[in-house]
């Protein structure tokens, strides 16, 4: 019997499916594969998406991000036998499939190869594609993991070949599970091994740094988007400036959108925009729905390399910024600061975001931030003017009364 335990969306519960494989979103996949004796033989939990570049009929290049293609099946996944090693096989959308193969050595097992197939006949995902058909890219991975260890890599892993870039993160996998029990001993990927310095979230004011950063010019504004099976599901336009304090040294970093990669995912209650570059392992903006009628920025996670080679990491899932009604976008042209922690703030410029209910790939009507709302200045100015006038009248009246009293002599 083959069973899968899947958790497509946090909080949605677990599904235990035997023989008949059901549907699950490609976000936060969790698989528990059992053998004929109902003992776990392979365990995996991971997140992934894909960025594909293709040529259109008018000889232009388009890029699409595959992050959530709805129902998935797991036909062909197996524990392995004497002839073949274990395998995870996932099918989703119209002709999309993903396969990872494992092999065993004396005291190690290997995550041997990963292949991904996509179908450009899907006009919704690949509009105006010049070449039609199913295309497959395969990569030799050869991650060697000690037997009875679980491989863990929370950092962003990237595989690039031809016109396809594959992104993986929050990976936990163990093939050849011993005695049906998933190991608690972790074997870390190289990127996770470098995460030795993780700064805590400090809500209080940071002491003045010994080194002050030199002033930075306004960052360049970048445009980012996330696409799923229904088309564009998230839009973001913003200039980003990172303010970091590490070991009492402050630095300011402008994000260059021309050298920044972006991925993400969209779901009914949450949406993710992830930015990455040569120095930024990941910068996550997580949006959430509240009260079923508004959205807001709920979480920011960052892990990046500093100039001195150390790794700076911060996470805060208790934020409340960029609040706007569902069906609209949030806009703030003035400089705005998102305070993630005492050691990490993000300054935004010319910001506009819409993480839900994007229609036809365009922004909906924007709700402006209070910093942009100049109309509030009118009553303030009028009120200040009236207050000053009243003060002048009162002072003049008191002076007049004083003079009138001075004109009389006491008998």
Please report, for the chain, the start and end positions of each structural domain, with discontinuous segments joined by +: 29-188, 221-371
More confident position, 301 or 399: 301
Using the predicted structure, report yes or no on whether residue 375 has a pLDDT greater than 60: no
Structural contact between residues 338 and 323, judged by C-beta atoms closer than 8 angstroms: no
Hey, which CATH number is domain 221-371, 1.10.3720.10, 2.40.160.110, 3.40.50.300, 2.30.40.10? 2.40.160.110
pLDDT 10s digits, 114-165: 999 999 998 888 888 999 999 999 988 878 999 999 998 887 788 888 888 8
Whole-Å CA distances, 332 to 129, 277, 329? 36, 25, 10
Rounded distance, CA 158 to CA 156, Å?
Answer: 6
E strand segments, 162-293? 164-174, 186-188, 221-228, 231-246, 249-254, 261-266, 270-276, 280-290
- Residues 6 or more apart whose CB falls under 8 angstroms from that of 24 comprise 6, 8, 15, 71, 72
Residue range 176-193, pLDDT digits in tens? 998 999 999 999 888 777
Are 29-188 and 221-371 equal in CATH topology? yes
* CA 150 and chain centroid, separation: 25
CB atoms within 10 A of CB 166: 21
Chain center to CA of 144: 28
pLDDT band at 167 (very low <50, low <70, confident <90, very high): confident
Share of the chain above pLDDT 90, in %: 45
For 296, counting Cβ atoms within 10 Å of its Cβ (0-12 exposed, 13-18 middle, 19+ buried), the class is middle
What confidence score (pLDDT) does residue 351 get? 96
Q: Tokens at residue 96, please?
A: 């999309």
R_g of the chain, CA atoms, integer Å: 28
Say what the pTM is: 0.49
User: Which whole number is the average pLDDT over 372-401?
Assistant: 71
Give the dihedral sign, CA 200/206/208/214.
Answer: positive
Asked whether the beta carbons of 113 and 100 are under 8 A apart, the reply is yes
- Tokens 């292949």 locate to 115
The share of the chain scoring above pLDDT 70, in percent, equals: 81
The domain defined by 29-188 carries CATH number 3.40.50.300 = no
Q: Burial level of 9, CB count in 10 A (0-12/13-18/19+)?
A: middle
272 DSSP assignment: E
> Which own/partner pairs from 369-376 qualify as long-range (CB within 8 Å, at least 24 positions apart)?
369/330, 369/331, 369/332, 369/334, 369/336, 371/332, 371/334, 371/335, 371/336, 372/331, 372/332, 372/333, 372/334
Question: Sorting pLDDT into bands at 50, 70 and 90, what band is 288?
Answer: very high
């Amino acid at each position: 019997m083959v069973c899968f335990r899947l958790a497509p969306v946090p909080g949605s519960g677990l599904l235990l499916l035997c023989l008949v494989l059901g549907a699950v979103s490609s976000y936060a996949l969790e698989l528990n594969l059992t053998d004929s004796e109902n003992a776990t033989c392979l365990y995996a939990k991971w997140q992934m998406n894909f960025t594909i570049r293709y040529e259109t009929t008018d000889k232009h290049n388009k890029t699409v991000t595959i992050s959530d293609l709805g129902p998935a099946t797991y036909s062909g996944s197996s524990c392995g036998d004497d002839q073949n090693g274990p395998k995870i096989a996932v099918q989703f959308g119209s002709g999309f499939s993903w396969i990872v193969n494992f092999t065993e050595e004396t005291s190690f097992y290997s995550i041997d190869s990963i292949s991904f197939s996509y179908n450009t006949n899907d006009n919704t995902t690949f509009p105006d594609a010049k070449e039609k058909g199913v295309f497959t890219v395969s990569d030799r991975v050869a991650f060697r993991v000690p037997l009875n260890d679980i491989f863990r890599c929370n950092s962003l892993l990237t595989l690039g070949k031809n016109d396809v870039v594959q992104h993986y993160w929050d990976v936990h996998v163990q093939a050849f599970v011993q005695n049906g029990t998933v190991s608690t001993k972790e074997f870390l990927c190289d990127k996770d091994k470098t995460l030795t310095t993780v700064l805590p979230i400090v809500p209080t004011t940071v002491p003045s740094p010994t080194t002050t950063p030199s002033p930075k010019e306004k960052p360049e504004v970048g445009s980012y988007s996330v696409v799923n099976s229904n088309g564009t599901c998230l839009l973001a336009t913003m200039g980003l400036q990172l303010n970091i304090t590490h070991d009492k040294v402050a630095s300011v970093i402008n994000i260059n959108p021309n050298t920044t990669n972006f991925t993400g995912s969209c779901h009914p209650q949450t949406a993710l925009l992830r930015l990455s570059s040569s120095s930024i392992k990941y910068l996550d903006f997580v949006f959430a729905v509240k009260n079923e009628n508004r959205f807001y920025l709920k979480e920011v996670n960052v892990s990046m390399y500093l100039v001195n080679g150390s790794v700076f990491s911060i996470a805060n899932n208790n934020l409340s910024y960029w609040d706007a009604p569902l069906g609209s976008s949030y806009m703030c042209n003035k400089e705005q600061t998102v305070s993630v922690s005492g050691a990490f703030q993000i300054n935004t410029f010319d910001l506009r975001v819409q993480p839900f209910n994007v229609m036809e790939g365009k922004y909906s009507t924007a709700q402006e931030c209070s910093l942009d709302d100049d109309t509030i200045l009118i009553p303030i100015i009028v009120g200040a003017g009236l207050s000053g006038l009243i003060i002048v009248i009162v002072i003049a009246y008191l002076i007049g009364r004083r003079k009138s009293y001075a004109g009389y002599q006491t008998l």
